[in-house]
């Protein structure tokens, strides 16, 4: 593949992410990685459900008393919106519109950072009221599940930012198109996991 080849929106392939063998390999490989990630999160969810509300005798914290939905609902909406904006970015990537793609990715990153900031605020709040990582089996399971998701958000954001900066001057080519595509795929996956966290941890937690 020639990295310096210039394209027009007409000569740019419909599916640049799988137009080369390297792209095809990355595409399949990344879906498989997501399968492994799914199993990872399944294990974390199962552990969380087993340890929910479990702690030393007389523990004052429970999911029903701890979680507050307004903040988490706002986080959910922000993350879901960021998934939508990354779809727009990929739409422009497929149309060979580099500037529009970068703009939508920048919006995605902003939303992701907001989400991350709110999560840090939330964790900080819990620690502040005494519900720290070492408080109980419940707290360990909660922070590990939600924190692992948060670490994925951080990694996804770093990935987006690195790609945007690296390719800012040279635009799209067959070498970096699969990279952008996979980063957005990763972002969707993070979003789906959050939907489950919102449901299983927060909604089901508040119901009691």
Smallest separation (angstroms) from another protein to the CB of 138: 6
Q: Which of 12, 16, 17, 51 binds another protein (CB under 8 A)?
A: 51
Per-residue binder mask for another protein (CB under 8 A), 143-162, x = binder: -x--------------x--x
Smallest separation (angstroms) from another protein to the CB of 81: 26
Which segment (5-13, 17-25, 78-86, 117-125) binds another protein by CB under 8 A? Answer: 17-25
Q: How far apart (Å, rounded) are the C-alpha atoms in residues 76 and 138? A: 22
Smallest separation (angstroms) from another protein to the CB of 205: 16
Smallest separation (angstroms) from another protein to the CB of 51: 7
Burial class (CB in 10 A: 0-12, 13-18, 19+), 36: exposed
Quick check: 40 binds another protein (CB under 8 A)? yes
Q: How far apart (Å, rounded) are the C-alpha atoms in residues 104 and 130? A: 39
Q: How far apart (Å, rounded) are the C-alpha atoms in residues 41 and 47? A: 10
Quick check: 97 binds another protein (CB under 8 A)? no
Q: Which one-letter DSSP state was computed for residue 201?
A: I
Residue 186's alpha-carbon distances to 50, 159, 205, in angstroms, are 28, 10, 27
């Amino acid at each position: 593949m020639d990295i310096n080849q210039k394209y027009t929106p007409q000569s740019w392939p419909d599916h640049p992410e799988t137009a080369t063998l390297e792209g095809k390999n990355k595409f399949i490989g990344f879906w498989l990685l997501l399968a492994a990630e799914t199993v990872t999160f399944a294990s974390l969810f199962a552990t969380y459900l087993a340890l929910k509300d479990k702690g030393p005798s007389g523990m004052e914290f429970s999911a029903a008393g701890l979680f507050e939905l307004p903040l988490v609902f706002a986080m959910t909406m922000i993350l879901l919106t960021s998934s939508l904006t990354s779809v727009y970015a990929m739409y422009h990537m497929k149309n060979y519109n580099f500037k529009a793609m970068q703009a939508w990715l920048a919006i995605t990153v902003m939303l992701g950072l907001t989400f991350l900031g709110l999560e840090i605020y939330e964790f900080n709040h819990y620690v502040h009221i005494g519900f720290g990582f070492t408080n109980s089996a419940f707290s360990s399971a909660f922070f590990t599940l939600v924190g692992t998701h948060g670490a994925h958000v951080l990694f996804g954001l770093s990935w987006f930012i690195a790609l945007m900066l690296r390719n800012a001057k040279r635009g799209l080519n067959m070498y970096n198109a699969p990279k952008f595509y996979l980063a957005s795929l990763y972002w969707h996956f993070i979003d789906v996991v959050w939907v489950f966290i919102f449901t299983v941890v927060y909604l089901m937690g508040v119901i009691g």
